[in-house]
Amino acid sequence: MHSKIYDVVIVGAGPAGSFFARELAMNKPEFKIALINGQSKENTKPCGGLLSPSAQKLFAKYNLTLPNSVLADPQIFSVETIDLNTKCVRHYQRHYLNMDRYLLDMYLLSLVPQNVDVICDRCISIEKDNNLYKLKLKNTDLCGLSIVGADGASSIVKNSFFKKKAYRYTSIQGIYRCNNPHLPHYSCIFDRKTSDSCSWTIRKNGYYIFGGAFKTKGCREAYEKQKANLENFLGYSLGKPERIEACMLTSPKKLSDFFVGKKEIYLIGEAGGFISASSFEGISNAIQSGRLLAEAYSEGKNHKEILKLYKRKTRKLKLKLFLKIQKRKILCSPFLRFLIMKSGIKSVK
């Protein structure tokens, strides 16, 4: 017999889960809420760690500030776009904040009210038993009347109850100790010989990050080959990484890839497909989807109404991200990308 049954169990304490937990707890203080946090400093999600203008706008809307401890050095104002095949290089102005992704997640988690039970554990399995959802964690078990999946591309919530599968890449990111001042501060890399997507390099607190999105089959080999191609282009060896991070990465390709859930099960953030297909920016979309589900919970009288409201509220977000899919088709077309970069449109000279 379980000692406590929660009204809502949130699996995943990234930006989506933490923001949803915060809003729900403030709007519904009578709810018993559990937030399962499986993150640790040693087990972080591979992420470039850039806070987009959209995410900054959401922070402003909620009167949230960002502590200096979250920011990383240096702050960067442009992206150097490199096509390794045509050798074409352009600089474009960007307004991102360079920050430590793990520290950002911990900051957002610190904003969750104390009436939410934050459980530092990993979810192993979920099954439905009559009107309850039973969650088996690594160190304990618990039950919930409803489940919210905020656990990314490899969502155990989504995989346990739904057959819908969005296209996924394997994201691989290497952390290198490198202080060469001639390397790009922040770059977006295209190399059609190793990936049909994009990669990135970012300076961060004395380290140099090189990561990218690769087809799952042969992903590590493709990563190493692209790294060699990049080093050859830069005329500099990054050396051996201090560590390698990897995870699955959602890449929505059609409108139906944005899926909010069913019955008492809801999906937010990347678990619901809410991520930009063109840049893989997910923080703003994660926060936005969490906010919208919290609003639906506040306005709906039952789960049928909540789901209907959540579907309606996410229409605008889905449309925005659908347009990112079309943008990706342009950017990842070698011919169209070459024309854009060659023209110099919107580039910084």
- Across the chain, mean pLDDT equals 94
pLDDT digits (tens, 9 = 90+) for 149-197: 999 999 999 999 998 788 999 999 999 998 788 899 999 999 999 999 9
CB-based burial, 22-58: b 16+ in 10 Å, e otherwise: bbbbeebeebbbbbbbbbeeeebbbbbbbbbeebbeb
Classify 5-49+105-165+257-328 by CATH class: alpha beta
The mean per-residue pLDDT over the stretch 245-249 comes to 94
Position 263, amino acid: K
Could you tell me what percent of the chain has a pLDDT over 90?
92
Classify residue 222 as exposed, middle or buried by CB count within 10 Å of its CB (0-12, 13-18, 19+).
buried
CATH topology identical between 5-49+105-165+257-328 and 78-99+167-251+330-343: no
pLDDT at 237: 94
Could you tell me what percent of the chain has a pLDDT over 70?
99
The number of CA neighbours under 13 Å toward the Cβ of 112 is: 27
Asked if residues 214 and 169 have their Cβ atoms less than 8 Å apart, the reply is yes
Angle at 41 between CA 14 and CA 9, to 5 degrees: 35
pLDDT over threshold 50, residue 1? no
Asked if residues 81 and 91 have their Cβ atoms less than 8 Å apart, the reply is yes
Q: How far apart are CA 295 and CA 313, in angstroms?
A: 9
pLDDT over threshold 50, residue 301? yes
pLDDT digits (tens, 9 = 90+) for 75-118: 999 999 999 999 999 999 999 999 999 999 999 999 999 999 99
pLDDT at 91: 97
78-99+167-251+330-343 is a CATH 3.40.50.2300 domain: no
pLDDT digits (tens, 9 = 90+) for 23-66: 999 999 999 999 999 887 766 777 889 999 999 999 999 999 99
Least confident of 175-184, 216-225, 252-261, 275-284: 175-184
Angle between helices 15-27 and 283-299 (to 10 degrees): 20
Domain ranges across the chain: 5-49+105-165+257-328, 78-99+167-251+330-343
